[in-house]
């Protein structure tokens, strides 16, 4: 009994402390470690949104770019922020581990934010302006974009690792801790929104009314505080050991499968190759049960005499069932991943078209205070802050009674609900634009800078996008963590983040195509610099239709998805 009790104090999923010792459940992990991770994420998101939420206006005002150019530059940069996580994830899973990846890339992040602040505040680096017109030089524009893409690199090491690192603080083999892990993703999202709330309200106001130097300097300080938060919890963290290059293991399965293209897979799958002991050969990972889908890859685990010609199996000829299932898990995730791209394209409108639309509306609150159009994103944030705890504390317990599931809804159901809500957000945005253009036409306001219509009519579309986020993005975070094999969780988290990148790039492509197609024969097009003479509502209808098609495809994908099953213990 004493031996069992001593064994039970350690996690059974292969986690260790920063010193490499087995992780003690009573001294490490759980919520006592997560408070540092949540604090880090809140400050980091304050910086990210504080700099990114109003970036389209900075490019228009200080770098003298048009609406389409500024919008596309923002979506391209934002897209890059969600592509670079593939670099951070690969380093984390293969060599560094999540802890050291986060720590190193936080330093890069601080350097990027510092350079951006200098480019907006130091004479010579910042563009010269007179009579509300700025004249940036090529070198000044270059300094700004170098800083932005240095930030994108820093973000790349943090985004794929922080949510997974937080979830690592809970032992999946312990039922009580597993339930807490499910709640962690909701509270993780809440911390993101608290940071974003301050960014979209206070920081955006500072940028538009005090100055861009202060507006970017405060986010730079916030990133430094985020680094202090993260490092302060070091002794409490449970750390997943890196399992070696996942790309190498995946390549081995593919090569072995094609080498054995003519080999028949036995009907009895217990004859497929796997290690005899309970531990997996992949460091830090548990074994995976065989699944019947994608049987072509099972050929890699069929043992033939030539596999052991030198005494030990050639990993490019013979792979374990777990290694094969690791590849299958990624392939099964890809259709779900693809369904998130259109949602991310809708989400990207908050920092582009919503802001540009808001620029045409009356931004006054009383006779002396003017709210920047980018600050309306705080209603998206408030929506997230409202719905995150409501979902966790009200909706889940209520749904649990009817579904019998521990989480109330499955992760795929949760994502599907968010996709439906996102359709309505585009419909509402389109309806507002129809009303706005009707006022313009009725009163001949075509050349009026601000339409006498309060900007707060945009609140419903921001609120709906925030609600959709709580369901889709949080569900996606948890889904990709749960369905990823232990040794490639950072990579799969990065994969989920690339939907945001591709959504931004797709938005850029769509805006470019729409602009080119609709501006032929001397027409101004749907999205001219003067929106009063355009048809932004048509663009919103297009997004709503694409979102509906995407949801119908998602329903078919979800119906056929097979969940992974982990067995054994990690080492």
Can you list the domains of the chain with their CATH numbers? 30-242+325-563 (1.20.1250.20), 246-324 (no CATH)
Whether pLDDT at 173 is above 80 = no
Whether pLDDT at 267 is above 70 = yes
Note the pLDDT tens digit of each residue in 512-545: 899 888 887 777 788 888 888 888 899 999 999 9
Whether pLDDT at 420 is above 90 = yes
Mean pLDDT of 111-133: 86
Asked if 507 and 500 count as a contact pair (C-beta separation under 8 A), the reply is: no
Mean pLDDT of 165-172: 84
Q: Percentage of the chain surpassing pLDDT 90? A: 21
Whether pLDDT at 565 is above 70 = no
Q: Determine the Cα–Cα distance for residues 177 and 183; give it in Å rounded to an integer.
A: 10
DSSP string, 266-294: PSSGGGS---SSSB-SSTT--EE---SSS
pTM: 0.76
State the angle between helix axes of 536-560 and 411-443 in degrees (0 to 180), rounded to the nearest 10: 170
Nearest to 314 by CA among 300, 329, 327: 300
- Give the tokens for residue 435: 């009303």
Measured at the CA of 506, the angle between CA 505 and CA 510, to 5 degrees, comes to: 120
- Per DSSP, what are the bridge partners of residue 134? 129
Note the pLDDT tens digit of each residue in 486-517: 778 788 888 887 888 788 888 888 988 998 88
Mean pLDDT of 417-435: 94
Q: What pLDDT was estimated at residue 118?
A: 92
Q: What pLDDT was estimated at residue 1?
A: 40
Most confident of 60-69, 156-165, 197-206: 156-165
- Give the tokens for residue 571: 């080492």
Whether pLDDT at 309 is above 70 = no
Measured at the CA of 421, the angle between CA 418 and CA 427, to 5 degrees, comes to: 145
Q: What pLDDT was estimated at residue 468?
A: 92
- Place 284 in a pLDDT band, splitting at 50, 70 and 90: low
Mean pLDDT of 183-187: 80
Note the pLDDT tens digit of each residue in 361-379: 988 887 777 887 877 878 8
414-444 as b/e, with b when 16 or more CB fall inside 10 Å?
A: bbbbbbebbbbbbbbbbbbbeebbeebeeee
Whether pLDDT at 568 is above 70 = no
Q: What pLDDT was estimated at residue 525?
A: 84
Whether pLDDT at 311 is above 70 = no
State the angle between helix axes of 138-167 and 459-483 in degrees (0 to 180), rounded to the nearest 10: 60
DSSP string, 97-114: HHHHHHHHHHHHHHHHHH
Q: What pLDDT was estimated at residue 3?
A: 44
Asked if 281 and 312 count as a contact pair (C-beta separation under 8 A), the reply is: no
Q: What pLDDT was estimated at residue 181?
A: 76
Per residue, the 3-state secondary structure of 202-265, as one string, reads HHHHHHHHCCHHHHHHHHHHHHHHHHHHHHHCHHHCCECCCCCCHHHHHHHHHHHHHHCCCCCC
Dihedral (CA of 87, 90, 93, 95) sign = negative
Mean pLDDT of the chain, nearest integer:
84
Cα 341 to the chain's mean position, in Å? 11
Whether pLDDT at 569 is above 60 = no
> CB under 8 Å to 23, separation ≥6 — which residues?
10, 11, 15, 16, 17, 29, 238, 239
Pairing of strands 451-454, 361-362: parallel
Nearest to 422 by CA among 554, 525, 511: 554
Q: What pLDDT was estimated at residue 457?
A: 93
Mean pLDDT of 152-161: 90
Whether pLDDT at 8 is above 70 = no
Whether pLDDT at 554 is above 90 = yes
Higher pLDDT, 136 or 178: 136
Asked if 210 and 192 count as a contact pair (C-beta separation under 8 A), the reply is: no
Note the pLDDT tens digit of each residue in 393-403: 888 888 887 77
- Per DSSP, what are the bridge partners of residue 22? 16
Q: Determine the Cα–Cα distance for residues 111 and 150; give it in Å rounded to an integer.
A: 8
- Place 4 in a pLDDT band, splitting at 50, 70 and 90: very low
> How many distinct helices (H) and strands (E) make up the chain?
19, 8
- Place 2 in a pLDDT band, splitting at 50, 70 and 90: very low
Mean pLDDT of 77-88: 85
Q: What pLDDT was estimated at residue 552?
A: 95
Q: What pLDDT was estimated at residue 66?
A: 79
Give the three-state DSSP class for 425: helix
């Amino acid at each position: 009994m004493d031996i069992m009790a001593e064994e039970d104090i350690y996690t059974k999923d292969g986690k260790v402390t920063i010193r490499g010792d087995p992780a003690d459940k009573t001294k490490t992990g759980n919520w006592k470690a997560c408070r540092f991770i949540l604090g880090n994420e809140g400050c980091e998101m304050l910086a990210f949104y504080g700099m990114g939420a109003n970036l389209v206006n900075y490019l228009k005002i200080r770098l003298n770019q048009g609406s389409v150019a500024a919008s596309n530059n923002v979506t391209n940069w934002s897209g890059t922020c969600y592509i670079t996580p593939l670099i951070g994830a690969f380093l984390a899973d293969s060599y560094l581990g999540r802890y050291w990846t986060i720590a190193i890339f936080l330093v890069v992040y601080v350097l990027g934010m510092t350079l951006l602040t200098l480019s907006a505040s130091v004479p010579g680096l910042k563009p010269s302006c007179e009579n509300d017109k700025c004249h940036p030089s090529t070198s000044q524009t270059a300094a700004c974009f170098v800083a932005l893409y240095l930030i994108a690199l820093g973000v790349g090491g943090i985004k794929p690792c922080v949510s997974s690192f937080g979830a690592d603080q809970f032992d999946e083999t312990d039922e009580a801790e597993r339930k807490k892990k499910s709640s962690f993703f909701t509270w993780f999202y809440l911390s993101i929104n608290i940071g974003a709330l301050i960014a979209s309200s206070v920081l955006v106001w500072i940028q538009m009314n005090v100055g861009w130097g202060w507006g970017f300097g405060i986010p730079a300080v916030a990133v430094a505080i985020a680094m202090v938060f993260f490092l302060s919890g070091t002794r409490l963290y449970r750390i997943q050991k890196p399992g070696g290059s996942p790309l190498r293991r995946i390549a081995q399965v593919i090569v072995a499968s094609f080498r054995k293209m003519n080999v028949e897979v036995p009907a009895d799958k217990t004859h497929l190759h796997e290690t005899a002991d309970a531990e997996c050969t992949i460091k830090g990972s548990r074994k995976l049960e065989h699944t019947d889908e994608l049987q072509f890859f099972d050929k890699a685990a069929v043992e033939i005499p030539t596999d052991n010609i030198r005494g030990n199996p050639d990993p490019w000829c013979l792979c374990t069932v777990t290694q094969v299932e690791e590849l299958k898990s990624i392939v099964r995730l890809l259709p779900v991943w693809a369904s998130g791209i259109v949602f991310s394209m809708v989400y990207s409108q908050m920092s582009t078209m919503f802001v540009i639309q808001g620029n045409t509306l009356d931004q006054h609150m009383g006779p002396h205070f003017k709210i920047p159009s980018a600050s309306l994103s705080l209603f998206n944030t408030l929506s997230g802050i409202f719905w995150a705890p409501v979902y966790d504390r009200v909706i889940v317990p209520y749904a649990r009674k009817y579904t019998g599931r521990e989480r109330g809804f499955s992760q795929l159901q949760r994502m599907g609900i968010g996709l439906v809500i996102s359709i309505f957000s585009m419909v509402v945005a389109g309806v507002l634009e129809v009303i706005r253009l009707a006022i313009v036409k009725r009163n001949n306001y075509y050349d009026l800078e601000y339409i006498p219509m309060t900007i707060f009519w945009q609140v419903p579309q921001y609120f709906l996008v925030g609600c959709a986020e709580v369901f889709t993005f949080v569900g996606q975070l948890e889904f990709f963590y749960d369905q990823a094999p232990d040794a490639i969780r950072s990579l799969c988290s990065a994969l989920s983040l690339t939907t945001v990148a591709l959504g931004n790039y797709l938005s850029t492509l769509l805006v470019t195509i729409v602009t080119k197609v609709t501006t032929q024969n001397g027409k101004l097009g749907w999205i001219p610099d003067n929106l009063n003479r355009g048809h932004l509502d048509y663009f919103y209808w297009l997004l709503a239709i694409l979102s509906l098609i995407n949801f119908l495809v998602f329903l078919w994908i979800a119906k056929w998805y097979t969940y992974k099953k982990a067995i054994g213990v990690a080492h």
